[in-house]
Structure 1
């Protein structure tokens, strides 16, 4: 690490995950030894980060030269922006290669997603296949054409080449409204994607919806507990250089599991409670509705099943369950209605 401070470069600081992760790191017992640089598009938000002592660079993660430069100046990169942006990942890795050439071995913690495990069930069946993040051989059976996989493979290859230690966190269905000073200051998005998308579609059609029969299963994780995983992993890396990295550096962010049907029922109950529907029973999205609300994709009807064994091994101890996820749906809907 450089000097008395550890230099972090974090992408996605104004996002749902990134803002929560940064909030957690700034509350770390050793936060006074951290120096964070964030990359943001909005100059006004950049100014607010600067007011808090966080170095903010105005730009986009699609600016490869800028991303490469900022990564080359970092001891630790934490990427929480677009997990399918191969160009941004490659620019980050090139920067870290340059960092290594100066005599250090940098750390790269990337955000992927359990969408890499998704099948094409279309809500019609459950799969018995459950991936374990401690089983590197099993993870390597994933096809390179799976969602997020091309970026994951580029990152693990960099670890093989030896100029960076790579770690990939794979969140599942993230739920809950993020809180903290970044949200209070209006510089962080407090809302997730998957469940709000389902809520939005259901509000528009006046009844809860699901893909197929909603039999598929997905894992879930609460936003602040997910942020804890990033900190726990970082602490484990610093404390023990044998902490799994590269092909053994996959960490699932998952603490519960739900069916799409159960989510649909909770959405339906919230619609009824808020006077937006007369029936709590979810019905199947038509093909036309899939086109209207989800760009024609049946992705929400996929299975994605996993066990977070390796994540738990670094001390991550989430306590929230699927019951908490289902209970979060009505407050999420109320916030969406108020916002719109």
Structure 2
């Protein structure tokens, strides 16, 4: 029997590497062949030599490669830049080519984020709207001006057109430091983006900070839990391709707890003060100059993004950690970043959640 072909983007990133490792160590891994796209020739060689992964040097700007590799694959895991519309269009074009030539529907598991649900609270109030991943009508009411939404729609339209089966996983605030052989080999980034941004901003300004009053709420998820969601969905699709909700019904939220920005920033400020990197254990509001310096001028971290992961749980996802674990993870995250950034003169910048090589 021929092997199932898996094409994955974002293999060296925080989420993508965690998912790739789970696929490599899957009980059926011998039945899979893997192809990934990475920017680093050094990491490509390591992936090939140490892990038996066909790694092609390139980026999301190489639309011809995205199209070709997606056409060749049985399963596509898109886990890189969630807002690159041209890249997403190249992937779905490859899936259409596959269907036109073979009549077979490729499977696309695309990564978005619960940022698509975000409002403009700027940390000043708690939002009341709560979205449910089992309610596609509610999600479809979101305007195209929402972050991630244009790419989500392109993916969903491919499913509606009938030439692919599409699924969208929406991670929330992801926390934790990844530990696996890909990290040990220097291939995968072990750190998230959102919380380290806030920590690094606090270190640089000498005081933990927050957006507005920090009264906004966001969901959270442990990195290992959200990586498990990809595999739970993958296995469910393999076992029941017709019965697994896809297309407009194919949203899967990665959320297992909820936190206020204030509680997170309070914990960061406390840890920084304890380590002599902050003046006070009470977070202060970021000024506009702070937002410009550390977050590209955006108050996005002060938005509300509230959701229920009903559909994710319905397919058998069982997250192990929640908000208390998230808050407890902040101290070791601060410690790890202080060690990692020592001597680098690091000034954080928002990068829109792009996977890094």
Structure 1 unaligned regions, length at least 5: none
SS in 2 for 1:288: helix
Q: 231-240 or 272-281, which moves further after superposition? A: 272-281
Structure 1, residues 105-161: CA drift from partner, whole Å, max 9, x if none?
Answer: 110000000000000000000111000000011111111110000000011011011
Q: 2:202 matched to 1:194? A: no
TM-score by length of structure 2 reads: 0.93
Q: Which residue of 1 aligns with 2:155?
A: 155
Q: 2:214 matched to 1:214? A: yes
Number of corresponding residues? 338
Structure 1, residues 241-268: CA drift from partner, whole Å, max 9, x if none?
Answer: 2111000000000001000000011101
TM-score by length of structure 1 reads: 0.98
SS in 1 for 2:90: helix
Structure 1, residues 284-340: CA drift from partner, whole Å, max 9, x if none?
Answer: 001111111111100000000000000001110002011111111111111111112
Q: Which residue of 1 aligns with 2:111?
A: 111
Q: Aligned partners of 1:133 and 1:276: how far apart in 2?
A: 40
Q: Aligned partners of 2:154 and 2:103: how far apart in 1?
A: 22
Q: Which residue of 1 aligns with 2:293?
A: 292
Q: Aligned partners of 1:252 and 1:27: how far apart in 2?
A: 24
Q: Which residue of 2 aligns with 1:62?
A: 61
Structure 1, residues 188-245: CA drift from partner, whole Å, max 9, x if none?
Answer: 0111011000000011111110000000000000111110000000111111121110
Map 1:45-124 → 2, pairs under 5 A: 45-51=43-49, 52-101=51-100, 102-124=102-124
Q: 2:26 matched to 1:25? A: no
After TM superposition, which residue ranges in structure 1, 4 or more long, deviate above 4 angstroms?
A: none
SS in 1 for 2:304: coil
Task: Compute the displacement of 1:4 (Å).
Answer: 2.4
Q: Aligned partners of 2:60 and 2:315: how far apart in 1?
A: 29
Q: Is the 8 A contact 2:202 2:278 kept in 1?
A: no
Aligned counterpart in structure 2 of residue 16 of structure 1, from 11, 14, 20: 14
Q: CA RMSD in A?
A: 0.8
SS in 1 for 2:270: helix
Q: Which residue of 1 aligns with 2:274?
A: 273
Structure 2 unaligned regions, length at least 5: 342-357
